[in-house]
Structure 1
Amino acid sequence: MTPREIFDRMRSHWLAGRSTFDAELLTEDVVIETPFAAPGRPARTEGRQRVLEYTEAGRAAFPVRFDDCRNVTIHETADPEVIIVEYELVGTHNRTGTTAAAPFIAVLRTRDGRLAHWREYQHTLAIAQALAA
């Protein structure tokens, strides 16, 4: 799969309420980084099994249904296995019905058609405010 195809699949999973990743999408040594992670959340997770466990548990505990992934801009790089993606996730809080959006930027690196590295920069303040509303 190309980096764009992997991102498209991830986006489909978000909007379907599923965990971000399927095992077949990840390299065995995949690394997921969120440098601006909220307090108490890991900034780095390594290895397919750990990533799957972490993202599945996180999705199950996150009280938001994602309604849209909009304003997507994909920037190609000199490396055909790397893209930079800007996007905005729109979600509705499961308990309050409040809808909010937050911007993200991610660097996606593939190897042999699988995701090898995902570094995501989140607007954690916007997310925290939306959850608190």
Structure 2
Amino acid sequence: MPKPKYAAFNPAAPYFDLVREALGDLVDGEHFFDVVTDNTVYEVLYDVPGWPRVIRGRTDLMTAFRGYVDNIALQSADQLVVHQTEGGRVVVIEYGVHGIILATDVKYDNRFCSIIRIENRKVAHWRDYMDSLAAWNALTARARPAANSQEVSR
């Protein structure tokens, strides 16, 4: 049986599913990567090491998310609030994501606000805001001790 088209991105599936739900029938395509094009601009207004501030095109966006899923596994995405303006040509979404940082097993919870401009039933521009402190705290936290480990006094 062949692998699903976007199986490598399963650790971010809750996010992709939430976005797809938020955009509904305003865009064409089943998956998040189906609703972006080679001309889509994905802009983030925060600094996270290893994540570019501006990503241009579907291929580069997939590459960036490949790095994301290599480091973070989401269990859920929720608290979705959708605001439409300009006849559905601009959509603002607010949401939360919840998961773990894979290298440390540290819990990751964050809130986002994304402003999405739609042209020709595809995402033309995405501007993202997030709780940078929540990301920093999760990404810089030390690994959780193993459940059965005992601290040794010296």
Alignment of 1:1-133 (within 5 A): 11-12=16-17, 21-22=32-33, 24-39=34-49, 41-56=51-66, 58-62=67-71, 64-133=72-141
Distance 1:27 1:96, change over 3 A: closer
- TM superposition shift of 1:61: 3.1
Structure 2: 5+ residue runs without aligned partners? Answer: 1-12, 20-30, 142-154
The question of whether the paired residues in 2 share the 8 Å contact of 1:37 and 1:122 is answered with: no
- TM superposition shift of 1:111: 1.5
**Which protein shows a greater Rg?**
2
Which stretch of structure 1 is more off in the superposition, 45-54 or 101-110?
Answer: 45-54
**Identical aligned residues as a percent:** 25
3-state SS of 2:88 partner: coil
When the two structures are superposed, what TM-score results if normalisation uses the length of structure 1?
0.73
- TM superposition shift of 1:34: 0.3
Tell me the number of residue pairs that the alignment of Structure 1 and Structure 2 aligns. Answer: 118
3-state SS of 1:69 partner: strand
For the residues of structure 2 that align with 1:90 and 1:54, how far apart are their CA atoms?
19
The question of whether the paired residues in 2 share the 8 Å contact of 1:27 and 1:111 is answered with: no
Give RMSD over aligned pairs: 2.6
- TM superposition shift of 1:95: 4.2
- TM superposition shift of 1:50: 2.3
Deviating runs (4+, > 6 A) in structure 1? none
Distance 1:94 1:10, change over 3 A: closer
Structure 1: 5+ residue runs without aligned partners? Answer: 1-7, 15-19
- TM superposition shift of 1:47: 2.3
The question of whether the paired residues in 2 share the 8 Å contact of 1:29 and 1:47 is answered with: yes
The question of whether the paired residues in 2 share the 8 Å contact of 1:13 and 1:21 is answered with: no
For the residues of structure 1 that align with 2:39 and 2:92, how far apart are their CA atoms?
20
Distance 1:81 1:10, change over 3 A: farther
When the two structures are superposed, what TM-score results if normalisation uses the length of structure 2?
0.64
